[in-house]
Structure 1
Amino acid sequence: MSLIDERQDFSDIADVFLLHGSMQSPTFLDGRLCALLALKDVSADTWLEEVCLSLGVEQPRNPESAERLLGWRRQTVAALSASELNYEPLLPDELFSLAEQAQGLREWALGFLEVLEEVVDDDQRAQWSKTLCEAMDDLPALARIDADIDNSTENENDLSALTEHARMTAMMLYTEQHPGQPQVEQSDAPVH
């Protein structure tokens, strides 16, 4: 099975980061990737350059690493544009503590918001649906969530709900910026 065909998860990308001497989590860059794909359709080459810059390297160490990083982008594009609405932020899974998962969600939100600040102006935001604007207004709170939480069922449920909010916000942004991709019903279309 090629890397193109297999679903990559947080650990797969984190391993590539480690191979390049980086202890940073890929969650911040995943938030950036999602927002860039929704707002600017970032090319594969541009994405690879951004990841390498973040890792402090000129280029991926080997072809397998380059393929993994490009596969990460392809996987995200495919999930955002799929009619199944199956996009999932690249976050630490249940193998990690709730605190690590919360930290990942916070970093994802920071990356996503950073791109919004760089790219979105008032005119563009005025074109968004009320539902999307309300969802976006909640993202700064995600970027400030307390990652110092214990492993309790209540915290797990809360974190799951916050992650679902981030996921749906990302998908709403993508679908509003790419009408017809995926084919979904617009329940709150912008008023012109």
Structure 2
Amino acid sequence: MTTDASGLAPVSFDRLSNLFLELQSYQSPSELHGLLCGQYCAGQRPAHGAWLSTAAEHMAVSQVLDTAAKSVLIQLYDETLAKLQSEDYSFQPLLPDDDEALEQRTQALGQWCQGFLSGYGLSGRSQNDLSEEAASILADFASIAQVQFDDLEDSESSEKDFLEVSEYLRMATLMLFGECSEAEASATSGSLH
């Protein structure tokens, strides 16, 4: 298992799922990651405390988050932002591993998109500020969030489709993040005059 500069293992889908189980949360870890990515792509950088409140609310946990839970959620926050900002395109939506059933991975893909749209919506950012391509991506995410997986065949063709859609999500998220970062930078430089 690889570790980051802090010596901690990256937050994987399984690690986040285990946290959800410990906290008796029946929500989707992928949806929580999508929510965070949506906030980032809308230009929001909530403080750690605000993120922890949002995460706890999303997870519908009744107890106060302990230090270990807070640590994992803050690590998820920091790692996700770092990967979105990285020039190596290492960002990946947080989904179950490839050895899980295709139905489960497809459901998580839809949940990730649902979370993304919720996180983006929390920003209050107007879609009028978006390029045509970015608006089209949000519409695609809305379609993917509605995916039906009941009659999904576990076939090579379905697997290929899943991989294509998850790669599209990955690249589209990076594009949205980049567009928002450029808009934020020009708004900041424009306000300095």
What is the TM-score normalised by the length of structure 2? 0.83
Aligned-partner Cα distance in 2 for 1:81–1:180: 15
Root-mean-square deviation (CA, aligned residues, Å) is 2.1
* Residue 56 (1) aligns with residue 65 (2): no
Paired residue secondary structure (2:39): helix
Quote the offset at 1:146 in angstroms: 1.5
Task: Please state if 1:153 is matched with 2:156.
Answer: yes
Q: Is the 8 A contact 1:13 1:26 kept in 2?
A: yes
CA contact (8 A) 1:30 1:111 kept: yes
- Asked if the contact 2:39–2:122 (Cα under 8 Å) also holds between the matched residues in 1, the reply is no
Q: Hey, what's the Cα distance between the residues in 2 that align with 1:113 and 1:145?
A: 14
Contact conserved, 2:40 with 2:81, CA < 8 A, in 1? yes
Contact 2:37–2:80 (CA<8 Å) still a contact in 1? Answer: yes
Q: Could you tell me which residue of structure 2 aligns to residue 184 of structure 1?
A: none
Q: How many residues align?
A: 178
Q: How does 1:170-189 map to 2 (within 5 A)?
A: 170-179=173-182
Distance 1:43 1:4 in 2: 23
What amino acid sits opposite 1:27 in the alignment?
S
**Gaps in structure 2 of 5+ consecutive residues:** 185-193
Tell me the equivalent position of 2:191. none
Q: Map of 1:31-70 to 2, 5 A cutoff?
A: 31-39=34-42, 40-53=44-57, 54-61=59-66, 63-70=67-74
- 2: distance between equivalents of 1:56 and 1:156? 34
Residue type of the alignment partner of 1:136? L
Q: What's the counterpart of residue 134 of structure 1?
A: 136
Cα displacement (A) at 1:25: 2.0
1:35-94 deviations in Å (ceiling 9; x for gaps): 112221122111111122223234323x22221111111110011110112211111111
Residue among 108, 111, 119 paired with 1:107: 111
Q: CA deviation at 1:22?
A: 1.7
1:37 and 1:156 mapped to 2: Cα distance? 29
- Cα distance in structure 2, aligned partners of 1:59 and 1:95: 33
Q: Distance in 2 between matches of 1:4 and 1:44?
A: 20
* Distance of 2:54 and 2:144 partners within structure 1: 24
Change (3 A) 1:48 1:121: closer
Sequence identity of aligned pairs in percent? 24
**SS of 1:179 mapped into structure 2:** helix
TM superposition score normalised by structure 1: 0.83
Distance 1:100 1:16 in 2: 18
Residue 107 of structure 1 deviates from its aligned partner by 0.6
Once the two structures are superposed, what CA deviation does each residue of 1:93-128 show, in whole Å capped at 9, x if it has no partner? 113100000000111111111233343444xx3332
1:59 maps to amino acid: V
Given that residues 4 and 71 in structure 1 are in contact (C-alpha distance below 8 angstroms), is that contact kept between their aligned partners in structure 2?
no
Please state whether the residue corresponding to 2:182 is helix, strand or coil.
coil
Instruction: Give 1:19's aligned amino acid.
Output: E
